[in-house]
Chains A and B, each alone.
Chain A
Amino acid sequence: EVQLVESGGGLVQPGGSLRLSCAASGFSFSTYWMHWVRQAPGKGLVWVSRINSDGSSPSYADSVQGRFIISRDNAKNTLYLQMNSLRAEDTAVYYCTREPVGRVEPDYWGQGTLVTVSS
């Protein structure tokens, strides 16, 4: 069974940093591209970042470019999102998602982890 479990969310002050993790199981993690998608309170889903299978080619939404870093450890079956210079508008539930091989649209999603940026 495919499982994606996010962790690392919490309350952080504006300007602070946080690192999210996503533990993957039930599939060959190292062969899949992965995404982070977020949902602000009462708002819709917004794509944040994507990384290829070996971690060599990340991409980012304009809103987080230069502040967030996506990475992965294929030996640990774990995806990461390092979030720096956090702003109030980064407050959201962050989901990690799997991109099927040969396709683009994510198939499996985790249940998300809440990040709150507030003083």
Chain B
Amino acid sequence: QSALTQPASVSGSPGQSITISCTGSSSDVGSNNLVSWYQHHPGKAPKLMIYEGSKRPSGVSNRFSGSKSGNTASLAISGLQAEDEADYYCCSYAGSSSLLFGGGTKLTVL
């Protein structure tokens, strides 16, 4: 299976809002609501930001939100802050106990 498709990079100024898309197929993103998003600062452990499409784990800021339409999931970040600068990965359950990740998006806070 090919990786889910994410834009390579997005950028925004502090206080602005951005959205990162994640496009898959009817076999993964489109087949269930098991899409998650991870924030990854290089050299550190990835951090779960969104699970089951739109749910936030305890402790994650409500500036982060998730949604899905058809075969495309999205992560929105509002009120951008310098510490949001990181790589973001989407992930979908792909059947047969497997997971499929996106290629990653580098978020730059200008």
Contacts and interface: CB of A to CB of B under 8 A. Distances in A.
Contacts of B36: 105-106
B101 A105 contact: no
A4 B47 CA distance: 13
B12 interface: no
A105 B91 contact: yes
Contacts, number: 67
Interface residues of B, number: 27
Contacts of A44: 3, 89, 101-104
B62 interface: no
Contacts of A110: 45
Given A59-B96, A107-B48, 5 more contacts: A45-B101, A103-B52, A106-B36, A110-B45, A111-B44
A110 B44 CA distance: 8
A79 to B, nearest CB: 15
Contact of B97 (A50, A105, A111, A112): A50
Contact of A105 (B34, B43, B47, B103): B34
Interface in B31-69: 34-36, 38, 40, 43-48, 51-52, 57
Interface in A23-44: 35, 37, 43-44
B93 A105 contact: yes
Contacts of B57: 107
A103 B99 CA distance: 12
CB-CB nearest 9 A-B residue pairs: A105-B36, A59-B97, A47-B99, A44-B104, A109-B45, A45-B101, A44-B103, A104-B93, A105-B51
